[in-house]
Amino acid sequence: MQQAIPYSTGRATWLGQAEAHERRVAEGSLRRVVAENPVVVVGSAGCCMSHVVKRLLQGLGVNPTVFEVNDSAQLAEEFVAGADKAGEFTMPAIFIGGKLMGGLDRLMAVHISGELVPILKQAGALWL
């Protein structure tokens, strides 16, 4: 089976800065990342549902911060502490305005009902 050739833009300095930023986000505490950013998507590395969440938010004009974890149990205690009700733990988890919105199903329901854009505006993730 053939392997894909990694994509490269040829901008080594820009990629280096982006990788350094991702490393800082990965090393930081989830609570700190959520407090500093209006929209945070927490998911497993390479998760297709995290990709769907990112694409939905980007389609609305939001640039979410992505917090990738290798093991979902790694941050379970922080999720339960940040959740409104203990036991509401889904991956990917979306934090908007410092509050746990929920998973992909909750985000889609809020988007379909038309409530997502006002929530994003209130959190400071959208300007228009």
74 lies in a domain? yes
Q: Are 122 and 101 in contact (CB under 8 A)?
A: no
4 lies in a domain? no
What pLDDT does 89 receive?
62
Phi, psi of 78 (to 5 degrees): -65, -35
61 lies in a domain? yes
55 lies in a domain? yes
How far is Cα 84 from Cα 54, in angstroms, rounded to an integer?
23
What pLDDT does 115 receive?
96
Stretches where the chain sits below pLDDT 50 are 7-24, 27, 82, 84-86
93 lies in a domain? yes
Q: What CATH number has the domain bearing residue 75?
A: 3.40.30.10
Domain of residue 65 covers 30-123
What pLDDT does 90 receive?
76
17 lies in a domain? no
Q: What is the pLDDT of residues 66-93, one digit of tens each?
A: 988 876 555 555 555 545 444 556 789 9
78 lies in a domain? yes
The domain total for the chain is 1
34 lies in a domain? yes
